[in-house]
Amino acid sequence: MSDETRGMLLGLAGVAVFSLTLPFTRMAVAAFEPSFVALGRALVAAALAGLWLLWKRAPLPPRAALPRLAMVSLGCVIGFPWLTSIAMRTLPASHGAVLVGVLPLATAMFSALRGYEKPSLGFWLMALLGSSLVAGFALFQSGGSLHLADLAVFAAVLLAAMGYAEGGQLSKSMGGQQVISWALVLAAPLVLPVVLWQTWGEWPAMLHAGARAWAGFAYVSVFSMFIGFFFWYRGMALGGVARVGQVQLVQPFLSIVGAAVVLGESIEFSNILFALAVISVVAMGRKMQIRS
């Protein structure tokens, strides 16, 4: 099996984990403040990351990697979780998931701007086509208009794309597990005071929030914020940031299925049609040339 194929499969495993992020986030924000869900999950994941680094006796990251790790922290640990948690207060998870479908194009854009990869014209055309399908689906579902919560998700996508591009590049030298683990540990001193301030005196009420809310918080803390990135960054290191990033075009439709199972949201026939179209674009994009 080639590195590219292994990278695509690992990326798909990461996408499967990430696809349930919005449904479980919506479960959590039904009882908790969005900022607690966003930053609290980063704190839990940082504790797990610290234990993993100690267990592996991982070396400290090189000084040259710190700016890139900071960008991963800003984009993937703080920015994306915070903005999507706010959006999930008002948006259906299935709708928000479709908006996240522009993430592959944004990731490829950041990777190209940073000079990591040089996608061919054919690749860009497939990326634009896939993202246009996803954006059109979002407008179709919302009746032709976008709201402030939609803009929050798009801002979250830009921050996540930055974190994915930097993290995927760093994974080639540090390994995906160390990249996300150090990004979480570096962010912990920033999020800890905020979480303590927000939860001070609120724990009795939070402990009675209900099993569904805590299950949602547990999933986004352990899987979305930690384990999923092990697969994702390793996949991008093997298969390339832009190409493996295209796998995320199928994430909105996995999320729609997840929202139906977890939240009881309906699946419409139009969802299936768009899913088939986007998957076809991903298959064609995989055949297009990308130079490192």
Backbone φ/ψ region at 144: left (φ over 0), alpha (ψ -120 to 50), beta: left
Q: What is the DSSP string of 170-207?
A: HHHHH-HHHHHHHHHHHHHHHHHHHHHHHHTTTHHHHH
SS (H, E, C) 64-80: HHHHHHHHHHHHHHHHH
- Residue span of the structural domain in which 263 resides: 3-291
Task: Please state which of the ranges 81-90, 163-172, 279-288 shows the lowest mean pLDDT.
Answer: 279-288
Q: What is the pLDDT of residue 253?
A: 79
pLDDT per position as a tens digit, 61-80 = 999 999 999 999 999 999 99
pLDDT at 142: 66
Q: How many domains does the chain have?
A: 1
Residue 268 pLDDT class (50, 70, 90 cuts) = confident
Query: With contact defined as beta carbons under 8 Å apart, do 114 and 165 qualify?
Result: yes
* Token pair listed for 175: 């390994």
Q: What is the pTM of this model?
A: 0.83
Phi, psi of 46 (to 5 degrees): -65, -40
Report the amino acid identity of residue 126.
M
Judge whether residue 145 has pLDDT over 70: no
pLDDT in tens, 197-223: 877 767 777 777 888 989 999 999 999
The gap between the terminal CA atoms of the chain, to the nearest Å, is: 20
Per residue in 219-264, pLDDT (tens digit) is: 999 999 999 988 988 888 888 877 787 787 788 778 888 888 888 8
**Nearest-angstrom CA–CA distance, 235 and 230:** 9
